[in-house]
Structure 1
Amino acid sequence: MCKTRKKRCNKSLPSCGYCIRKELHCVYTRVPRLSNHAVLTAERTRAEPIWGAWPPTSIASSRMILSSNVPSDQTTAKAVHNQVYLEIHGMIRATGQFVDGISHRYFQGFHRHLPVISRIRFYNNLSTSGGAPGADVSVLLLTMCLITHAPALGFESEYGTFQMAEQHSLYLTARSLLTQVQVSCSSSLPLIQAGILLALYEYTHGRPDDAFMTITGSARMAYAARIHTRDRHQTRMTHTTSHNADSDIDLLLQAEEAANTWWGIVICERTFLIEATVFDQPMVTVFPGVDARLPIEPEVLDQLDISGSKYLPNVPISCLTSEKIEGFGRTVQATYLLDQVLKSFDTPDIDSRLLQLDRLDTNIQAFLSLVMAQCQGHSGIFCVSINIAIRTLFMVHWHIFGQHPQAVRANFRSQEEWFERSQDALDTVTKIVVNTAESLIGESLANTATPMVDLMPPTYTYISCAALRHIRRSTHREGVDWLESAKNMLQTSLDKYFQRWSVSDDWVKVRSHTEHVACSAGCVLGI
């Protein structure tokens, strides 16, 4: 209980509601921490990470937050919304941040890579008249705070620097609150989006297994909310016949936001799966058909009125060579190619499978060349699609290398010809990643104040690790003197990226071990 105002203390953490409203210093009686032995034991039971473990931290605080949030039969929905918002607002303030700063960083950063949230609708939901926003919107705000928070920017709480352990505590709280609100409320678009951002945080911090489980939960919520069946063209027709133009515009924007959110789930599930420990597990989502319309871009999603035909181009997924497709549409197309590769792995006949992979390899390389030419002068817009295409090429050619020599004979090519083609392809994409790393560790981009590291999506770390894996496998080859300098360049760029987003440095210690395990598993699975 707060010592400042015991009678009006609602026991919220890190500050009670009264102290937040009056801007007073809230002082609680110290809560006993769990013993180090208990914390470490709990941490060891988690799956091994790709490049680092979660930092040891006490979870007592998140339990207390949950206990104060459990609604009783007498608690009204409005009171629950107020309580959740006050607690989340207090946690955000404890990080030294403000709501405006969080939303600005999100929409200038991660939003460019995965535009699933409408800026207009988010601000409208956040600034509801007559009370606090809904609990689902508050949880979404907390996950935005979590995914954009970078202690390297210099944010400090009133108790000192916001260290990694506190950031992990914030993650635990966000995960717990998401689960609780999900149980107490029906599935909603903000709640689904909060699940996506939470999964992205786990993926960014080298936990693809956790991220995959989280995104599948979001997919289940999305199915329950029926956002995968939204008929956007029907919504456009409604706009032309209704008498309430403002209402129809909002419905259209909501439908497009829901469609982008569903695409975000489809993209994340596949990019997370290929990094998971257990590769051959089923996915929850089904990739739409090739005639499905591509999603709208972030600059369109942020418009107040998107009812004009110029804002909603009817471009299908299969138009890979169209020049009218921007960043998010290219990301969907890259994911479509990845999905085709994943399906080809299920082909039992090795000859048929290799022929499929050979065709897909040609298509992916052509797509990659097209997008890389398109991205000139548009820094950061096409990074995700390029990274997914590169990661898919690594997977295709590792699969070919993983086949038994006697099985590699399709398309009238010898084993040596297949392996030589794959080796050349892997060298090429590795050099592309190294060139990106060289830009990343350099100075800020010309004519902009945004450093290159801020433009890199989370997928960059995974293609860098894939390139490092290829380099380490190629050390026995002759005439590849560039490998050692490339290795150092990649490691330096990863250090800079992880430092920028406060990812655990433990990945340095475990990377070699996990890479050895991954290589062993990859040879068995053919990836």
Structure 2
Amino acid sequence: MAYATHDVNSSNGDALPAPKASQACLSCRRQKRRCDKKIPACSLCERMNRACDYSDASPAPTSDDFNVLQQRVLELEGRLLGAAGNGPGHGQSYLHTPASTISSLSAGVQQPPTPVYTPGPSYQQVQNRFPAIAFLESESFTRGRIEAPSAQIEIPLEVLELLGDGSAVQTVIRDYFDTVHTWMPIISKKRLTRNMLNPMWEAGPDLALLFLCMKLMAPRPQDDPENIYNPIYAAAKRFISSLEASGMVSLMLLQAYILVALYELGHSIYPAAWMTVGSCARYGQVLGVHDSERAPQLLPLVSSWTELEERRRSWWGVIILDRVVSIGSKGRVLACEEPRDRAVLPATTSAWDEGQMASQNPPSVSSPMSDPLCPFARLCQASRLLGKVLRHHGQRDVQETERFQQVSDLYLELSDLARILVHQAAMPQEYLGFSTPMSVCFSALCALCDPYACNGSGEQATTPEEGKMQTQAVDGLKTVSSSIKEFSDHLISQTTNNLDIERVSPFVMETLYTAGSNFAWDVRETGNESSQESLDSMRQSLGRFSGKWKSSQAYLRILEAQEFTYAAIASG
């Protein structure tokens, strides 16, 4: 094994730099990761607690290596076909490009042109058997009771490799239900467990994709800031694209879409997060889970209450994502319509997990706020109100008096929900469970008040009513920001270990940032020391979760940029 050498006769008195290996270790080469070549072990291998091998042996070939090899074989076949023709262009299976022509002329030697792109073997020959009549003439599709055939597509090799054996999949399932399921319970634990225990049951590509996306969400990312673009994420995006192209009809595909959207939102991968949420909405509408009465139903008839509840929860998951991803995207249109007043809210999650059927009169959107509900049902209520806030700000041609009355009504409704949530979360063991609906409720209050706290032109209010509304909005922002500060303090006290941090949803990051931004504004306007302390506290809270959700780092950078701007303005 060769090591890089250093000049031992250096005349300066500085300490000699640590020796490094002359090449990357086998693990980093195999994963195509940057290796710092530290001796005796690189930082990545040391962090992963694995052996670090700097030997000259070549790493075992991966699926990507086989794909490259196949590409070269295709290129050689193209050259042979071209040589067998009777002249230039005859029988060639490749295309000339300007780059290949220029490089050939400059070198003075005829080089092979760039071959036509051929996808890897894992993603070839996707056939779409979906009945177009479902969209071209939906009434005929419904009357004819036409069923969408199952998609014939193999599970890609890279997906199988990433999932591992049955034991690894069981670990993924356990970790997922211990963490993500506590704040976004849309996948039936009972159904998944029953299927895994059935020896006659064969896993399809949609379930393999769902397992892959569960694995994407369950573990905590490594410290590498670029790790959000990991192989699991890339494979999941490719696999989803293939299943979509095949015309697959599956609730598990919708759930996989939701998990990918959550991952992208939690790590600030934009515009992908925005686009994926839109795909969730569209695909849910394709399945018909958004409206079981009027929309064509492509999924099979439900066979149990547990299955019906799972479909209902999956669509609520889409609605929640659609509202949360739109908080900071003013002016963009929501992808889902408002839930109707008689839309049923989710049943108690613990009962659903056990397969215990809920009461005959389940709670609905129009049920009183005072009715006892589980955290996920509260999250649905908070997201519905957030949607009303966003639609309110998007209204046009509404009289000022009517507009201000709508704001007052929404503020009272959201405040009532916030008080109920704080009361339900009073028990320490319940706080993490209710932290997600509380964060969305607080974010909705801030989103409601913010446009009225300062008009877009930066000028003073033009009417007495507008001035009154502005004063109330500023007071509202201060009150809500103080509540978020208390919420943050409680959350920090409840996340004493890594498992607790894993159970905090990415929605909380936006809430902490919003409060921090409000405190920063107050510091600039009044120099309030208490607001400065609260701002520092928000920064610390965001930093606490930066190892789990990269969006917290993005929000911290925005806060720093705002403070720099404020300081530059103050200094003239």
Say if 1:199 and 1:214, in contact at 8 Å, map to a contact too: yes
Confirm whether residue 90 of structure 1 aligns to residue 141 of structure 2. no
Confirm whether residue 184 of structure 1 aligns to residue 236 of structure 2. no
Match of 1:291 among 342, 345, 348: 342
- The equivalent residue for 2:310 is 257
Task: Report 1:216-295 matches (<5 A).
Answer: 216-230=278-292, 250-276=303-329, 279-295=330-346
Q: Which amino acid aligns with 2:163?
A: I
Q: Secondary structure at the match of 1:499?
A: coil
How many angstroms does 1:105 deviate by?
1.8
How many angstroms does 1:114 deviate by?
1.7
Q: What CA distance in whole angstroms lies between the structure 1 residues aligned with 2:492 and 2:435? A: 16
Q: Secondary structure at the match of 1:174?
A: helix
Q: What CA distance in whole angstroms lies between the structure 2 residues aligned with 1:328 and 1:288? A: 16
Q: Where does structure 2 lack aligned partners over 5 or more consecutive residues?
A: 1-29, 32-58, 69-116, 128-149, 294-299, 566-572
Match of 1:474 among 496, 499, 522: 522
Match of 1:483 among 519, 528, 531: 531
Confirm whether residue 68 of structure 1 aligns to residue 122 of structure 2. yes
Task: Report 1:117-516 matches (<5 A).
Answer: 117-126=187-196, 129-130=199-200, 132-151=202-221, 164-165=226-227, 168-207=230-269, 209-230=271-292, 250-276=303-329, 279-306=330-357, 309-310=358-359, 313-345=361-393, 346-348=395-397, 349-377=399-427, 378-403=430-455, 409=463, 413=465, 415=467, 417-442=468-493, 444=495, 452-478=500-526, 480-501=528-549, 505=553, 508-509=556-557, 511-513=559-561
TM-aligned CA distance change 1:443 to 1:387, over 3 Å: closer
Residue by residue, what CA displacement relative to the aligned partner does 1:70-124 show, whole Å, maximum 9, x if unpaired? 2478xxx89944x43x532421349x99212221121122112121111122234
Q: Give me the TM-score of the superposition, normalised by structure 2.
A: 0.66
Number of residues paired by the alignment?
A: 429
Say if 1:327 and 1:382, in contact at 8 Å, map to a contact too: yes
Q: What CA distance in whole angstroms lies between the structure 1 residues aligned with 2:553 and 2:119? A: 29
TM-aligned CA distance change 1:69 to 1:458, over 3 Å: same
Q: Which amino acid aligns with 1:187?
A: V
Q: Secondary structure at the match of 1:150?
A: coil
How many angstroms does 1:355 deviate by?
1.8
Q: What CA distance in whole angstroms lies between the structure 2 residues aligned with 1:224 and 1:29? A: 34
Q: Secondary structure at the match of 2:415?
A: helix
Q: Which amino acid aligns with 2:124?
A: V
How many angstroms does 1:478 deviate by?
3.7
Say if 1:379 and 1:455, in contact at 8 Å, map to a contact too: no
Residue by residue, what CA displacement relative to the aligned partner does 1:404-462 show, whole Å, maximum 9, x if unpaired? 666564xx7461x43332222212222222223334444756xxx77542332111110
Say if 2:274 and 2:325, in contact at 8 Å, map to a contact too: yes
Structure holding more helix per residue: 1
Q: Which amino acid aligns with 2:365?
A: I
Say if 1:115 and 1:297, in contact at 8 Å, map to a contact too: no
Q: Secondary structure at the match of 1:386?
A: helix
Q: Which amino acid aligns with 2:234?
A: L
TM-aligned CA distance change 1:128 to 1:273, over 3 Å: farther
TM-aligned CA distance change 1:455 to 1:413, over 3 Å: same
Q: What CA distance in whole angstroms lies between the structure 2 residues aligned with 1:303 and 1:138? A: 24
Q: Which amino acid aligns with 1:290?
A: D
- The equivalent residue for 2:106 is none
Deviates more, 1:466-475 or 1:425-434: 425-434
Q: What CA distance in whole angstroms lies between the structure 1 residues aligned with 2:306 and 2:367? A: 24
- The equivalent residue for 2:27 is none
How many angstroms does 1:209 deviate by?
3.6
How many angstroms does 1:382 deviate by?
1.7
How many angstroms does 1:305 deviate by?
4.5
Q: Secondary structure at the match of 1:290?
A: coil
- The equivalent residue for 1:6 is none
- The equivalent residue for 1:116 is 186
How many angstroms does 1:66 deviate by?
5.0
Say if 2:345 and 2:364, in contact at 8 Å, map to a contact too: yes
Say if 2:513 and 2:556, in contact at 8 Å, map to a contact too: no
Q: What CA distance in whole angstroms lies between the structure 1 residues aligned with 2:500 and 2:530? A: 23
How many angstroms does 1:67 deviate by?
3.7
Q: What CA distance in whole angstroms lies between the structure 2 residues aligned with 1:207 and 1:515? A: 24
Say if 1:290 and 1:318, in contact at 8 Å, map to a contact too: yes
Q: What CA distance in whole angstroms lies between the structure 2 residues aligned with 1:291 and 1:443? A: 36
Say if 2:439 and 2:507, in contact at 8 Å, map to a contact too: yes
TM-aligned CA distance change 1:111 to 1:327, over 3 Å: same
Q: Secondary structure at the match of 2:340?
A: coil
How many angstroms does 1:372 deviate by?
0.8
- The equivalent residue for 2:139 is none
TM-aligned CA distance change 1:304 to 1:182, over 3 Å: same
TM-aligned CA distance change 1:274 to 1:64, over 3 Å: farther
How many angstroms does 1:200 deviate by?
0.3
How many angstroms does 1:254 deviate by?
1.5
Confirm whether residue 105 of structure 1 aligns to residue 175 of structure 2. yes
Say if 2:159 and 2:235, in contact at 8 Å, map to a contact too: no
Say if 1:66 and 1:176, in contact at 8 Å, map to a contact too: no
How many angstroms does 1:396 deviate by?
1.2
Q: What CA distance in whole angstroms lies between the structure 1 residues aligned with 2:561 and 2:290? A: 40
Q: What CA distance in whole angstroms lies between the structure 2 residues aligned with 1:323 and 1:506? A: 38
TM-aligned CA distance change 1:105 to 1:509, over 3 Å: same
Q: What CA distance in whole angstroms lies between the structure 1 residues aligned with 2:307 and 2:465? A: 52
Q: What CA distance in whole angstroms lies between the structure 1 residues aligned with 2:386 and 2:564? A: 24
Identity %, equivalent residues: 20
Q: What CA distance in whole angstroms lies between the structure 1 residues aligned with 2:62 and 2:288? A: 44
Residue by residue, what CA displacement relative to the aligned partner does 1:117-164 show, whole Å, maximum 9, x if unpaired? 111222344556457411011111111111112146xxxxxxxx9984
Q: Which protein is bigger by CA-based radius of gyration? A: 2
Q: What CA distance in whole angstroms lies between the structure 1 residues aligned with 2:164 and 2:524? A: 54
Residue by residue, what CA displacement relative to the aligned partner does 1:174-211 show, whole Å, maximum 9, x if unpaired? 11111111211422100000000000001100236422
Q: Which amino acid aligns with 1:226?
A: G
Residue by residue, what CA displacement relative to the aligned partner does 1:21-64 show, whole Å, maximum 9, x if unpaired? xxxx9544985999xxxxxxxxxxxxxxxxxxxxxxxxxxxx99
Q: What CA distance in whole angstroms lies between the structure 1 residues aligned with 2:257 and 2:170? A: 21
Say if 1:260 and 1:296, in contact at 8 Å, map to a contact too: no
Q: Secondary structure at the match of 1:214?
A: helix
Q: Secondary structure at the match of 2:432?
A: coil
Q: Higher relative contact order at CA 8 Å, sep ≥6: structure 1 or structure 2?
A: 1
Q: Secondary structure at the match of 1:457?
A: coil
TM-aligned CA distance change 1:379 to 1:507, over 3 Å: closer
Aligned residues: CA RMSD: 3.7
Residue by residue, what CA displacement relative to the aligned partner does 1:380-406 show, whole Å, maximum 9, x if unpaired? 222222111111111111110233666
